[in-house]
Chains A and B, each alone.
Chain A
Amino acid sequence: MRNSGETGVALTAEELERYQRQILHAPFGQAGQARLKAAHVLVAGVGGLGSPVAMYLCVSGVGTLTVVDADVVSISNLNRQLLHWESDIRARKVDSARGKLVEMNPRAHVEAIGERITRETVPSMLKGVDVVVDCLDNMASRYILNQACVDAGIPLIHGGVYGMMGQLTTIIPGKTPCLECIFPRKEETDQGPIPVFGPTAGTIASLQALETIKLLSGVGKLLAGRLLYFNGQEMECLLVDVQSRDKCPICGGVGAKEGIM
């Protein structure tokens, strides 16, 4: 067993071998791996985004994963939600997800919460969590999650998809614009089912997982205060500098500036 510095978490010989290819990345190393092992990540939604996010974080050696989703698996999920298979139809998504994740990496501690994210349920879900990954499928729940993360000071890795387009950004409470700064709330209209291609969700989810690993290990430059917009149809990636809103009702607009001129 090797104790990897400040986390006080030791890596076993088996873990050193299992995670060898990422430990080989010098800025990450054994210390980065130990930080993942000590971490608790909440994946909100285990659908098109949440499946690859949870899979990558699980096999990367994140110590504790909580997956939250109130839905059951239906056949129209199967074009993109990789953790759910035909044999899982009608099962709770969190049970289907947990079953696969613990097989992928039996050392991971995976908690399953089959509840909706509401103002009432979210505070207890966030207890002891280091990072939240937003893999939800509607803006109403995202706004609730954003507010709870800002209140608790927990970083939130936001991702969203539509058709062949996707976007992600990393929200650090007190340092970056929050979700409501970037996307001010509008009249909610029920759009019905949203078009999504599996590879689009997979692309954005992979980047969300990478941001989570970077944030936990302290390696690299985060998408903090920047939003990556991916247009798979045109194969364009825009990087947008996002701004805090002066009168943001959620975060108060930390570091808000007058316009951008």
Chain B
Amino acid sequence: MHISVDANFTLKGVFETPVQWSFKRSGVTLRELLREIDQRVHSITIFRDNDLGDDIEEIWLNGKRFFSLGEKLDTPLKDGDRLKIALYMAPLGGG
């Protein structure tokens, strides 16, 4: 199955969006997809337990915000789903 992933950030050569994310099997959950992205980009924590991580402002699955997904991270994905990730940037105060 293929999931289309877009984001408001890129990591050159590692995570360049939009990208088609492919899984050989079906029945993949949102958590599994996010874990793969999280492992590719070390600087961000996409999720913690059953909620979004601090570095994420919002994610949308097929245009629906995360909070409106009944099964949260256990939401099953299907071929052709569209995921969008918006990174939240915390200010770095030092100079």
Contact = CB atoms under 8 A, between A and B. Distances in A.
Contacts of A237: 11-12
Nearest to B82: A261
Nearest to B16: A239
Interface string B58-69: 101001000000
A26 interface: no
A241 interface: yes
Contacts of A139: 91, 93
Interface in B77-95: 84, 86-87, 89-95
Interface string A169-207: 000000000000011000000010011100001000000
A47 B43 contact: no
Contacts, number: 87
Interface in B14-65: 14, 41-44, 58, 60, 63
A72 B83 CA distance: 50
B95 A240 contact: no
Interface of B: 8-12, 14, 41-44, 58, 60, 63, 84, 86-87, 89-95
Nearest to B12: A237
Contacts of B14: 236
Contacts of A162: 92-94
Given A241-B8, A242-B89, A159 B43 contact: no
Interface of A: 45, 47-50, 134-139, 142, 159-162, 165-167, 182-183, 191, 194-196, 201, 227, 229, 231, 234, 236-243, 259-261
A45 B41 CA distance: 32
Contacts of B9: 229, 238-241
B93 A194 contact: yes
Interface of A is mostly: mixed
Nearest to A136: B95
B8 A231 contact: no
A196 B94 contact: yes
B92 A261 contact: no
Nearest to A53: B95
8 contacts: A48-B94, A136-B95, A160-B92, A194-B94, A196-B94, A234-B42, A236-B41, A238-B41
Given A194-B94, A242-B8, 9 more contacts: A48-B94, A160-B95, A183-B89, A229-B9, A229-B89, A237-B12, A238-B10, A238-B44, A261-B60
A239 B41 contact: no
Nearest to B62: A261
B6 to A, nearest CB: 9
